[in-house]
Amino acid sequence: MSSSPAATSAVPTAPFVVVANRLPVDRIQLEDGSTDWRTSPGGLVTALQPVMRKNHGAWVGWHGAADEELEPFVDAGIQLMPVALSSQEVEEYYEGFSNATLWPLYHDVVAHPEFHREWWDSYVTVNQRFADLTATVAEQGAVVWVQDYQLQLVPQMLRAQRPDLKIGFFLHIPFPPTELYQQLPWRNQILEGLLGADLVGFQLPGGAQNFLRLVRQRLQYPTHRERISMPGGRTVTARAYPISIDTQGMADLANAPATVARAEEIRRDLGDPKYVFLGVDRLDYTKGLPERVQAFGELVSDGTIDPEEAVFVQVATPSRERVDHYRRLRDDIDRLVGRFNGDIGRIGRPPITYLHSSYPKEEMAALYRAADVMVVTPLRDGMNLVAKEYVACRTDEDGALVLSEFAGAAKELRQAYLVNPYDIDGMKAQLLQAMNDSPRSKIRRMRMLRRQVFENDIDRWATLFLNDLGSPASAARAG
Ligand code: F6P
């Protein structure tokens, strides 16, 4: 919990600054009607909290409400620097350019990206606002780490004002193949924006290679392996850093007696079926929800899976609800789940339990513990941390992970039951395989998956990135 935002005259400065679209806090309503802030459950905050505390770090980001100016405030020992957005900017920069242009374009155009010049103008204006505030917050020679697709122009805008800074950028979503990226009317501006950083990080080597190829083709800057030679003699590095989770923290949570008890209760509430399948996603069209529901629904309706024996629980967290594609997806899923349950369910036992809601991480850990088969089948995903969380929570070494080949996590989690989510029959076969595999085979797979996520946790991710950036913040963190 934090002190409430208090008016300050001078802007606080810091030697380490994270810049992200959102601040790492959620506003909560207290019983007496007042509001306060609670640290968001996200992995990035968990990873960076120790670095931030040790280095008196600051976090620049939007607090999530339109038309509201907040003064800087401190939460959980981190200096927070709110960036204000007007409702028009929320519409044009956030819902528009970030989530209706870049998001679908970077996810293999699984939905049609919209290109609007006024959205671009707003993206430029807001990126400039983030850069300007960061320039006033960062101390001389500070390390600045910019996050994700909403802020791709910030590195260049910041460098123009503050050449003394060390600037890192990390893209959490896929960087698309060159043929798709080229559709973007502002393709060169965004490449130049990213090249303001000293180090540009991607989830996968393929993303870094796409970026390097575009830099050569479109901007004619020479590259050698991962390095780009910029005019004026500066060098930029583009490299993959697959993000991860707080593995030990998740495992501890899964082992807590309250979680174990809750997992048993969930299974009881579901009617003690032999098999529980689980999906957990933001309600996003990249996540492949209709294909997954179709595959499971067909297995039940064609008699391969007995609905007395198996249930599917799908948690879909509400997301970007004012963006058209998201609104339509919500209706489609409602209809599809309703149709299957209507056709194949019976009183008190729907084969698919659909929860359009978000839950605290204690409840998620209990769900992971309760699930025999975790189904993570996005059409395209930068990484997918749900897959890693499930593995971290299977401290019993039981359980099976069905994972899309098109999730970044599939490059690391090779022992999962891999599927092409566009291939409904192939997906049905793998769901069955995961359900019916021998306990020996499941344990062998799960052990290897667990080794992977324990060796490569979020701490290692942040340390590798900051070391490569040459950040003194990383040394302070290890000490
Ligand atoms: O990388 C994906 C991402 O945009 C993150 O930056 C963010 O935490 C998450 O999806 C949720 O998105 P939003 O901030 O649009 O709710």
Whether 230 and 236 have beta carbons less than 8 Å apart is answered as yes
How many Cα atoms within 13 Å fall on the side-chain side of residue 333? 28
Task: Report how far residue 88's alpha carbon sits from residue 99's, in angstroms, rounded to the nearest whole number.
Answer: 14
- For 119-147, the pLDDT digits (tens) are 999 999 999 999 999 999 999 999 999 99
Q: What is the atom index within ligand 1 of the atom nearest the CA of 99? A: 15
Is the CB of 319 inside a 6 Å radius of any atom of ligand 1? yes
Rg (CA), the chain: 23
User: pTM of the predicted model, to two decimals?
Assistant: 0.96
Residue appearing with tokens 């080229």 = 182
- For a mutational test of ligand 1's pocket, the pick from 85, 202, 319, 381, i.e. the residue with the most ligand atoms closer than 8 A to its C-beta, is 319
Task: Report how far residue 178's alpha carbon sits from residue 152's, in angstroms, rounded to the nearest whole number.
Answer: 17
Residue 158 has φ and ψ, to the nearest 5°, of: -75, -45
Task: Report how far residue 260's alpha carbon sits from residue 369's, in angstroms, rounded to the nearest whole number.
Answer: 7
How many Cα atoms within 13 Å fall on the side-chain side of residue 386? 26
Is 112 a known active-site residue?
no
Burial per residue of 433-470, b for 16 or more beta-carbon CB atoms within 10 angstroms, e otherwise: ebbebeeeebbebbeebbebbeebbbbebbbbbbebbe
Spans of the chain below 50 pLDDT: 1-8, 475-479
Is the CB of 148 inside a 6 Å radius of any atom of ligand 1? yes
Structure token digits, residue 88: 């028009």
Ligand 1 centroid, distance to 174 Cα (angstroms): 13
Task: Report how far residue 200's alpha carbon sits from residue 195's, in angstroms, rounded to the nearest whole number.
Answer: 8
Is 306 a known active-site residue?
no
* All domains in the chain, ordered by first residue: 5-243+459-478 (3.40.50.2000), 247-455 (3.40.50.2000)
Is the CB of 320 inside a 6 Å radius of any atom of ligand 1? yes
Task: Specify the pLDDT at position 372.
Answer: 98
Its sign, for the CA torsion 408, 413, 200, 224, is negative
Task: Specify the pLDDT at position 474.
Answer: 65
Is the CB of 107 inside a 6 Å radius of any atom of ligand 1? no
Catalytic residue among 172, 198, 325, 459: 172
Q: What is the atom index within ligand 1 of the atom nearest the CA of 282? A: 11
What are the CA-CA distances from residue 477 to residues 74, 109, 147, 385, 463 (Å)?
A: 20, 39, 20, 23, 8
Q: Cα angle at 207 between 382 and 451, to 5 degrees?
A: 55
3-state secondary structure 310-345: EEEEEEEECCCCCCHHHHHHHHHHHHHHHHHHHHHC
Whether 300 and 344 have beta carbons less than 8 Å apart is answered as yes
Is the CB of 433 inside a 6 Å radius of any atom of ligand 1? no
Catalytic residue among 148, 281, 381, 459: 381
Number of Cβ within a 10 Å radius of residue 360: 8
Is the CB of 395 inside a 6 Å radius of any atom of ligand 1? no
Is the CB of 22 inside a 6 Å radius of any atom of ligand 1? yes
Give the residue whose CA is nearest to atom 14 of ligand 1.
Answer: 22
Structure token digits, residue 359: 């839950």
Task: Report how far residue 205's alpha carbon sits from residue 411's, in angstroms, rounded to the nearest whole number.
Answer: 10
Structure token digits, residue 49: 């909290």
Q: What is the atom index within ligand 1 of the atom nearest the CA of 103? A: 4
Give the residue whose CA is nearest to atom 6 of ligand 1.
Answer: 148
Ligand 1 centroid, distance to 61 Cα (angstroms): 13
What are the CA-CA distances from residue 128 to residues 123, 161, 195, 220, 240 (Å)?
A: 8, 11, 16, 26, 26
- For a mutational test of ligand 1's pocket, the pick from 22, 83, 170, 380, i.e. the residue with the most ligand atoms closer than 8 A to its C-beta, is 22
Is the CB of 63 inside a 6 Å radius of any atom of ligand 1? no
How many Cα atoms within 13 Å fall on the side-chain side of residue 266? 25
Is the CB of 173 inside a 6 Å radius of any atom of ligand 1? yes
Whether 409 and 386 have beta carbons less than 8 Å apart is answered as no
76 burial (CB, 10 Å; 0-12 / 13-18 / 19+) is middle
Task: Report how far residue 469's alpha carbon sits from residue 197's, in angstroms, rounded to the nearest whole number.
Answer: 10
Number of Cβ within a 10 Å radius of residue 36: 15
Is the CB of 172 inside a 6 Å radius of any atom of ligand 1? yes
Number of Cβ within a 10 Å radius of residue 27: 12
Task: Report how far residue 364's alpha carbon sits from residue 386's, in angstroms, rounded to the nearest whole number.
Answer: 10
Q: What is the atom index within ligand 1 of the atom nearest the CA of 172? A: 1
Give the residue whose CA is nearest to atom 1 of ligand 1.
Answer: 172
- For 54-98, the pLDDT digits (tens) are 888 999 999 999 999 999 999 988 999 999 999 999 999 999 999
